[in-house]
Structure 1
Amino acid sequence: MTTRRGVLAAGAAMAIGPALAQGAAVRLVVPFAPGGSQDVLGRLLAQAAGPLLGANVVVENRAGAGGVLGAEAVARAAPDGTTLLLATAGQLTIAKAVGRRLPYDPIADFTPVLWLSDSPVALLAAPNLGVADTAALIRMAREARDALPYASTGIGTNTHLIMEDLKARARLNVEHVPYRGAAAAFNDLAAGRIATMFVSVPSVLSANGAQFKVLGVTSRARFPATPEVPTLIEGGVPDFEASIWTGLSAPAGTPPAVVARVAAAFSEALRSDLVRSRFNTLGVTPNGADGVAFGAMLREDLERWTRVAAPLNIQLE
């Protein structure tokens, strides 16, 4: 008996080309080192999507230069559907917005395939700050004589730019203190040396909540992993949204039929019980918007962060 899944897998294999029919693997380039949240997400999707494509989807970790090395490898690969990028803003939109020198054009050199997932960031406050919610923090930061120090996970990262966007919109008197990651920032937040910061929801879920007060999240609706935490919109910042998104991209020039088949397989993988159950523990939600919507988001994301970064005079090595 022919199943829908079997038809999809067979069609995908034929559409991508004879190489897959002969057992060649599809490379899913994850531009980060093994073990991180994006690597876990990539391996999960590869496991679920492979049978739907009728191919072995192999994760290839290409860390370095903030993920730029991995993205470059995909941009230069043959546009035949056998090399894909697990894309994030760090290689595409934010990378260009902050003036990083890129060996590729993040829009022109890739074909957007599928918008895979979203995760908001959480706004945190130091326990000794004495604020109960986002509105209280905003009032304090507006009225502060001396700038409140805020942490980020690095200059030109999403946690840096999201706070600078909030600073501009809400007229906050805050000062940036960059860290090399969330762990050290959490320590200083707990000790009161840092007043506030944005950080990814997965980092919040894995950390000791006694170290900080979670004030809000940057999704439009309350996030399923933290249903008790209000959004920043509820906290009085109109239309303030930000997502740590993940997408699937292919080299520019990949045939539309190939893109459609790859998108169909990964879209069905997103709906699988395996992926949905693990996404909950990872602190992310499946998106599934098609390549057209993903491409439109990329252009909007690039415009937003370029506007936010322009007055900051960010200097990257």
Structure 2
Amino acid sequence: MQATRRALLASLILPGLAHAQGAWAPDRPVRLVVPFAPGGSQDVLGRLFAQTVSQAVGQNVVVENRAGAGGMLGAEAVARAAPDGTTLLLATAGQLTIAKAIGRRLSYDPIADFAPILHLSDSPVALLAAPDLPASDLGRLLEHCRRAPQPLPYASTGIGTNTHLIMEDLKARERLNIEHVPYRGAAAAFNDLMASRIALMFVSVPSVLGFSGGQLRVMAVTSRVRFPAIPEVPTMIEGGVPGFEASIWTGLAAPATTPAPAIERWRQEFARALESDLVRSRLASLGAVANGSGPAEFGALLRDDLARWTRVAAPLAVRLD
């Protein structure tokens, strides 16, 4: 009886061991291309994942910062790399959906030239209102913007950015009488918002959490559910804008035609890192939450995102090149 049990146990365990031993593994150091300069939130995330995953795969995962052209230089480097599983891209919408949606001239196709691996994290944006606007909640704010006799100025962190396109989407859906005033970053826009020189703006949750210049009127967030760091703030959906969600997402991708075993190994290892207390606590400090959706779901997000921002950008005639 004991021999039979041992044989049965071996039959269950050994195939799993054989599969694990035969799984694809990198045979040389791996590049994780971060398409931004060192020191920013994406660089922090990239280095955190690289450190965690290196230990698991037995090879160094080295962060390579390839900043420039809104992240497109880094994406181009990955798209042209050998599809052997040793080059990865820490991707955002800026390179893989928004750039094409606003008509940037690209040397790569953001859908066809990449293999999606994992949707790593999401950070919603927050809708802010000037102190003197006569609105106590989102519904009243939107009604005020509809009825304004002259267009109310709203800020963004630049033409063709997430914050610009998200507001234009809201403007079209809710028929708001607002006009765009682009800024080079959130800090100057915050000052003008607090002085009521602008009326509205969308800004990343980390920027809200890090603001120390006074009390901001945070009207809503664009996540599906309330965001853990600011649970008192309702969502756009709760405020009366059905289905309105938006995220500054981060994902992992590889060159197209990277072998499926390599894609699956990286999905497993980065998903495992995403579940670690270290990564989750750091995400929270950066105003983000873990996602963990795999290649099929992440690929669907890319296609949906591209379609959404192409529709929003079409009437804007954005010209950046």
Under a length normalisation based on structure 1, what TM-score does the superposition of the two structures give?
A: 0.93
Equivalent runs, 1:267-278 vs 2, <5 Å: 267-278=271-282
Equivalent runs, 1:94-133 vs 2, <5 Å: 94-133=98-137
- What does the per-residue CA deviation read over 1:193-246, in whole Å, with 9 as the maximum and x for residues that have no partner? 110100000111111262520000001110111111100111110110001010
- From 19, 24, 29, give the equivalent of 1:15: 24
How far, CA to CA, are the matches of 1:136 and 1:50 in structure 2?
A: 51
How far, CA to CA, are the matches of 1:188 and 1:53 in structure 2?
A: 49
Moved over 6 A (4+): none
Q: Is the 8 A contact 1:13 1:54 kept in 2?
A: no
1:256 corresponds to 2:268: no
Q: State the Cα RMSD in Å.
A: 1.7
1:79 corresponds to 2:83: yes
- From 177, 181, 184, give the equivalent of 1:173: 177
- What does the per-residue CA deviation read over 1:112-155, in whole Å, with 9 as the maximum and x for residues that have no partner? 01010001000001112242221121011000001110000000
Q: Is the 8 A contact 2:221 2:227 kept in 1?
A: yes
Number of the residue aligned with 2:289: 285
Question: What is the SS of the residue equivalent to 1:91?
Answer: helix
Alpha-carbon distance, 1:16 to partner: 3.5
Larger Cα-atom Rg = 2
How far, CA to CA, are the matches of 2:218 and 2:48 in structure 1?
A: 29
Number of the residue aligned with 2:153: 149
- The amino acid across from 2:24 in the alignment is A
Seen in structure 2, the aligned counterparts of structure 1 residues 313 and 274 have a Cα distance that, compared at 3 Å, is same
Question: What is the SS of the residue equivalent to 1:116?
Answer: strand
Alpha-carbon distance, 1:183 to partner: 1.0
How far, CA to CA, are the matches of 1:264 and 1:272 in structure 2?
A: 13
Equivalent runs, 1:144-293 vs 2, <5 Å: 144-208=148-212, 210-293=214-297
Number of the residue aligned with 1:306: 310
Number of the residue aligned with 2:42: 38
How far, CA to CA, are the matches of 1:43 and 1:249 in structure 2?
A: 16
Aligned residues: 306
Under a length normalisation based on structure 2, what TM-score does the superposition of the two structures give?
A: 0.92
Q: Is the 8 A contact 1:30 1:39 kept in 2?
A: yes
How far, CA to CA, are the matches of 2:21 and 2:167 in structure 1?
A: 42
How far, CA to CA, are the matches of 1:167 and 1:272 in structure 2?
A: 39
How far, CA to CA, are the matches of 1:134 and 1:53 in structure 2?
A: 48
Seen in structure 2, the aligned counterparts of structure 1 residues 70 and 12 have a Cα distance that, compared at 3 Å, is farther
Gaps of 5+ in 1: 1-6
Alpha-carbon distance, 1:12 to partner: 8.6
How far, CA to CA, are the matches of 2:21 and 2:132 in structure 1?
A: 56
Number of the residue aligned with 1:3: none
Number of the residue aligned with 1:4: none
How far, CA to CA, are the matches of 1:239 and 1:208 in structure 2?
A: 31
Q: Is the 8 A contact 1:152 1:179 kept in 2?
A: yes
- From 291, 295, 299, give the equivalent of 1:295: 299
How far, CA to CA, are the matches of 1:225 and 1:12 in structure 2?
A: 41
How far, CA to CA, are the matches of 2:237 and 2:80 in structure 1?
A: 41
Q: Is the 8 A contact 1:53 1:262 kept in 2?
A: no
Question: What is the SS of the residue equivalent to 1:118?
Answer: strand
The alignment-based identity, stated in percent, is 70
